[in-house]
Amino acid sequence: MENFTFYAPTYFAFGKDTENETGKYVSRFGGSKVLIHYGGGSVVRSGLLERVKDSLKNEGIDFVELGGVRPNPRSGLVYEGIELCRKEQVDFIVAVGGGSVIDSSKAIAAGVLYDGDFWDYYEGGIVEKALPIGTVVTISAAGSEGSADSVITKEEGMFKRATTGEALRPKFTIMNPALTQTLPAYQTACGITDILAHLYERYLTNTSEVEVTDRMIEALMMTMIHEGPRVIEDPNNYQARANIMWAGMMAHNNSCGVGRTQDWTSHDIEHELSALYDCAHGAGLAVVMPAVFTYNLQHDVNRFAQVATRVWGCQMDFSNPERTALEGIEALRRFLTSLGMPCNFAELGANPEDIEKLAHTACYGDVNDGSLGGFVKLNQKDVENIYRLMV
Ligand code: NZQ
Ligand code: ZN
């Protein structure tokens, strides 16, 4: 295990009706004028937005609203939010929605306290100062409710970039699993896929002797495999929703990622798909992950065989561990398909003619030497080959 620091001071309120406490938590964390940020309308239709507003009113907290965050949130609305917060002297942001709303809130929170263009942070900066934010989560997926990250799509060029910074971790997060019961099955499945991806990105490591985090990741993966089909079968299964919701947070607040190198190849490759084709991030990952894992298999056959046996219940073939490793990837693919996820470019609505462009944009990303990947270092040609495996 490598040296690490870990500080994740988000206050979590979990369970039924907890959204009615939003005002109380805003007061507790020092907010007096709030921006309520939300998406395309699900929280209006479900009545959640009204309940959140009522709880702020009950605490005597003044607020303004900005809805309209789209999945794969755009830079344009962030600029609007920054302006609104400055004009209204907002000192606290409450995100009511999923990862897109939370990420847009984080971008606004950082931008309000920054003199330059907020996008600078998404070109490689670390956010050190931001307005405090709280979240009321409506989908188990991105894990942004416990993470220090934010992902925004730049409208000029339609590409996605991420930033990070401890200042972006929510001060509080309200998690009522019942709020996720209104999700369409497809979005629920996208969320489960994203959670599994966050676990794989950490599992695929070059650090040895990380038994504790390996085992934590395996437990969370097995929870998703158990609970995923149960919520697709019965969307009102509160207990299954609850397990998925907490697993989704733990999968990405980095408690499972400390002390080990991480990969993030699948995310870097997927982000270009959801930016260009506006598909759901989880759906993109369902197509990307099996291709990336197959391409990277030879780098560490034993690690892929380990997840195959410990998580997917494959029998270890000691004379041919590669076969076991491939069985594990196949089991993942079958699981995702059974949830209703796409498995290739066509099902995702992606165009093979864009592959060179996709690979180019993906490689310009997090690592500026034109390569990506923490598990296996991949250049643009490798990334193109991986996209081709998805066609
Ligand atoms: O906009 P509304 O009307 O609210 O509808 C949303 C949206 O259409 C709907 N939805 C959410 N909760 C609902 C609901 N519909 C009915 N009932 C509910 N309870 O679901 C759709 C998807 O919402 P979105 O917020 O986009 O989903 P998700 O949480 O998957 O977020 C995806 C974004 O997060 C980024 C992704 O790249 C993507 O842009 N990520 C952020 C990360 C982070 N900040 O740490 C890490 C992730 O890896 C990921 O990259
Ligand atoms: Zn993700």
Pairing of strands 33-38, 92-97: parallel
Distance 106 CA to ligand 1 centre (A): 14
Strand partners, 38: 96
pLDDT for 241: 98
- The residue nearest atom 16 of ligand 1, judged by CA position, is 183
pLDDT in tens, 310-350: 999 999 999 999 999 999 999 999 999 999 999 999 999 99
Ion ligand 2 residue ranges (Cβ < 5 Å) = 194
Give the ligand whose atoms come closest to the C-alpha of residue 43.
1
- The residue nearest atom 18 of ligand 1, judged by CA position, is 183
Which residue intervals of 234-262 are DSSP H helices?
238-252
* 187 touches ligand 1 (CB under 6 Å): yes
Element (H, E) at 164: strand 159-164
How many angstroms from the chain centroid is the CA of residue 281? 8
pLDDT for 159: 86
Distance 358 CA to ligand 1 centre (A): 22
Give the ligand whose atoms come closest to the C-alpha of residue 142.
1
* 171 touches ligand 1 (CB under 6 Å): no
At 122, the amino acid letter reads: Y
pLDDT for 309: 98
Q: What is the mean pLDDT of the chain?
A: 96
Give the domain ranges of the chain.
11-179, 184-388
pLDDT for 368: 57
Average pLDDT rounded to a whole number, residues 169-174: 98
What does the DSSP 8-state code read for residue 254? Answer: S
Q: Among residues 243, 232, 364, 352, which one has the least CA distance to residue 291?
A: 352
Is the separation of the CB atoms in 94 and 36 below 8 Å?
Answer: yes
Which residue intervals of the chain are DSSP H helices?
22-28, 42-45, 48-58, 75-88, 99-112, 185-203, 211-233, 238-252, 265-277, 281-296, 301-310, 321-338, 345-348, 355-364, 380-389
Angle at 211 between CA 207 and CA 212, to 5 degrees: 115
- The residue nearest atom 28 of ligand 1, judged by CA position, is 99
Q: Which CATH architecture has domain 184-388?
A: Up-down Bundle (1.20)
Average pLDDT rounded to a whole number, residues 229-234: 98
pLDDT for 370: 79
The domain 11-179 is classified under which CATH number: 3.40.50.1970, 3.40.50.10490, 1.10.1030.10, 3.40.50.720?
3.40.50.1970
Least confident range from 96-105, 107-116, 152-161, 184-193: namely 152-161
Distance 269 CA to ligand 2 centre (A): 11
pLDDT for 68: 98
pLDDT in tens, 115-137: 999 999 999 889 999 999 999 99
Average pLDDT rounded to a whole number, residues 68-95: 98
User: One fold for both 11-179 and 184-388?
Assistant: no
Provide the pLDDT confidence category of residue 365 given band limits of 50, 70 and 90: low
Distance 138 CA to ligand 1 centre (A): 8
* 270 touches ligand 1 (CB under 6 Å): no
- The residue nearest atom 48 of ligand 1, judged by CA position, is 142
* 194 touches ligand 1 (CB under 6 Å): yes
Distance 192 CA to ligand 2 centre (A): 10
pLDDT for 125: 85
- The residue nearest atom 45 of ligand 1, judged by CA position, is 144
Distance 76 CA to ligand 2 centre (A): 22
Asked if residue 369 has pLDDT above 80, the reply is no
Distance CA 301, CA 309 (A): 12
| φ/ψ bin of 387: left (φ > 0), alpha (ψ from -120 to 50), beta (otherwise) | alpha
pLDDT in tens, 178-225: 999 999 999 999 999 999 999 999 999 999 999 999 999 999 999 999
